[in-house]
């Protein structure tokens, strides 16, 4: 009997440790995750510019170069790493449509079609997620109460792990949730005007389809981006520390919620103002 109780206690503690570790290791910023696997241009606030295929992890991002780079000391560098603690130094991340592989271009186009004025099913899934976010504190408190009760009636030794159990439960709740902002939610899937403060203090504007947001980033697709005097189609990730959704970009009077209204052309829309940035 003693051996069985001890085994159950060990398994519970081990299970909690494993679940907590997995959740912490796999929790990534949803906007950075959306850019993962794509060729991305990164600009830091100090002016440093990096091109590479982005890989997003819980602790940071890595941009892998398309070819080896030799620095001034003569050694090879094949990637650039930005740790999570360095995210405040990021100015923007840009995904150029004409730089993508054929496979990633098709993947991006599917994402854009699904994101712009999403159908009722996609909006319903988002509403469910938002409802969970609104009730996240209630779920967390209920889970804490259940864990406290289980620790008192469970095998000896489990009670001492109540703090660990509570922490794992909180991580589990946060795993399914995300940032929620009622103003930003109203503009998801619609054209917006994004206002960005440059490192030099200028206010720049970008017009595009607002796809997603997180506690740290805003994701906008299908932007006219002036690069070296040439307008190119891009998608942007802008840190919320210096970027805000400033205006709705849909024409006045258009009922964007009605699925029966024909969608306007996404590309080369002459009514869209060009947006500029110094690169």
Angle of CA points 264, 270, 274, to nearest 5° = 115
Q: Is 5 a member of any domain? A: no
Task: Give the range among 35-39, 113-117, 260-264 with minimum mean pLDDT.
Answer: 260-264
Q: Is 240 a member of any domain? A: yes
Q: Is 259 a member of any domain? A: yes
* Distance separating alpha carbons of residues 217 and 223, to the nearest angstrom: 16
How confident is the model at residue 206, as a pLDDT? 95
Q: Is 28 a member of any domain? A: no
Owner of token pair 């941009």: 63
Mean pLDDT of 240-260: 76
Among 11, 22, 10, which Cα is nearest to 171's?
22
pLDDT for 209 beyond 50: yes
* Distance separating alpha carbons of residues 180 and 212, to the nearest angstrom: 11
Mean pLDDT of 254-272: 41
Q: How far apart are the first and last CA of the chain?
A: 70
How confident is the model at residue 121, as a pLDDT? 81
Owner of token pair 């095998």: 155
pLDDT for 36 beyond 50: yes
Q: What is the DSSP letter of 47?
A: S
Q: Is 260 a member of any domain? A: yes
Q: How many domains in the chain? A: 1
CATH code of the domain in which 200 resides: 2.30.30.100
Q: Is 187 a member of any domain? A: yes
Q: Is 199 a member of any domain? A: yes
Show contacts of 80-87: CB within 8 Å, 24+ apart: 80/42, 80/50, 80/52, 82/42, 83/59, 84/58, 84/59, 84/60, 86/60, 87/216, 87/239
pLDDT band for 227, please (50, 70, 90 cuts): confident
Choose between 53 and 124: higher pLDDT: 53
Residue range 136-194, pLDDT digits in tens: 666 666 666 665 665 555 554 555 555 555 555 555 555 555 677 889 998 999 999 99
Read off the pTM.
0.70
Q: How far is CA 222 from CA 130, 211, 256, in A?
A: 25, 10, 17
Residue 231, domain extent: 182-276
pLDDT band for 27, please (50, 70, 90 cuts): confident
| Torsion angles phi and psi, residue 50, rounded to 5 | -135, 135
How confident is the model at residue 260, as a pLDDT? 34
Q: Is 249 a member of any domain? A: yes
């Amino acid at each position: 009997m003693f051996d069985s109780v001890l085994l159950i206690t060990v398994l519970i503690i081990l299970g909690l440790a494993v679940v907590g570790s997995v959740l912490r290791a796999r929790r990534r910023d949803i906007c950075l995750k959306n850019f993962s696997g794509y060729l991305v241009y990164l600009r830091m606030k100090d002016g440093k510019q990096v091109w590479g295929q982005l890989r997003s992890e819980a602790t940071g991002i890595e941009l892998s170069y398309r070819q080896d780079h030799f620095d001034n000391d003569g050694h090879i560098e094949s990637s650039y790493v930005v740790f999570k603690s360095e995210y405040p130094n990021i100015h923007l991340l840009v995904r150029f449509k004409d730089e993508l592989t054929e496979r990633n271009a098709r993947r991006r186009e599917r994402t854009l079609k699904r994101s712009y004025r999403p159908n009722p099913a996609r909006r319903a899934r988002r509403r469910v997620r938002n409802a969970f976010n609104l009730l996240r504190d209630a779920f967390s408190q209920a889970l804490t109460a259940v864990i406290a009760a289980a620790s008192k009636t469970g095998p000896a030794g489990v009670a001492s792990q109540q703090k660990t159990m509570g922490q794992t439960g909180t991580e589990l709740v946060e795993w399914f949730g995300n940032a929620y902002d009622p103003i930003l939610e109203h503009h998801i899937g619609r054209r917006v005007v994004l206002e960005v403060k440059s490192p030099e203090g200028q206010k720049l504007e970008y017009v595009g389809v607002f796809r997603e947001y997180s506690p740290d980033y805003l994701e906008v697709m299908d932007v006219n981006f002036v690069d070296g005097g040439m307008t190119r189609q891009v998608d942007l990730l802008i840190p919320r520390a210096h970027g805000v959704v400033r205006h709705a970009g849909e024409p006045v009077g258009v009922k964007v919620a009605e699925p029966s209204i024909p969608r306007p052309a996404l590309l080369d829309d002459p009514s869209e103002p060009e947006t500029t940035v110094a690169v």
